[in-house]
Amino acid sequence: MKIAIPLFGKRVSPRFDCATHFLILTVENGDIVRRENLLLKEKILTERIKRLSEIKVDTLICSGIDAFSEGQLFFHGMKVLSWITGEVEDVIRSFLEGNLEPGMMMGAGGRCCGRWRFRHGKGSCGGGRHGHH
């Protein structure tokens, strides 16, 4: 399995469409077997998504993403876990433990410290709680 995470320093980038640096993880049997840094110079979203597809990314973990990009990623066979915020290593830990869900605000140690809530529309966490679990 290949996972892509757009980066903003040591955190998940706030926006998929603006990120140029991605961490690509290859996971086998629940363990990371390879870490790569990917620079996406493509400015056109469809070209960026095509590039992720070409390197065979299965899952994108990101924060903010527009509906068009999310739809294109699905079209190319990728699962999207969106509206995830926090330190990348905490997000990875939570993902590997099977605890990562769309809309999670990650805290230290890979634990959820809150959830995004959306007032209108189809937000990933529309009905979820906000605050500590």
pLDDT in tens, 25-39: 999 999 999 999 999
User: Residue 71 is part of a domain; what is its CATH number?
Assistant: 3.30.420.130
Q: How many CB atoms lie within 10 A of CB 123?
A: 16
Q: What is the pTM of this model?
A: 0.82
Domain containing 70 equals 2-115
Q: Picking from 8-17, 49-58, 120-129, which range would have the lowest pLDDT averaged per residue?
A: 120-129
Q: Look at residue 82 and tell me if it is in a domain.
A: yes
Residues 6 or more apart whose CB falls under 8 angstroms from that of 46 comprise 72
Residues 6 or more apart whose CB falls under 8 angstroms from that of 120 comprise none
pLDDT at 7 over 70: yes
Q: Look at residue 123 and tell me if it is in a domain.
A: no
pLDDT at 42: 84
Q: Look at residue 45 and tell me if it is in a domain.
A: yes
Q: How many CB atoms lie within 10 A of CB 113?
A: 16
pLDDT band at 110 (very low <50, low <70, confident <90, very high): low
How many structural domains compose the chain? 1
Q: Look at residue 106 and tell me if it is in a domain.
A: yes
What mean pLDDT do residues 62-88 have? Answer: 94
Instruction: Give the distance between the most distant pair of CA atoms in the chain.
Output: 40
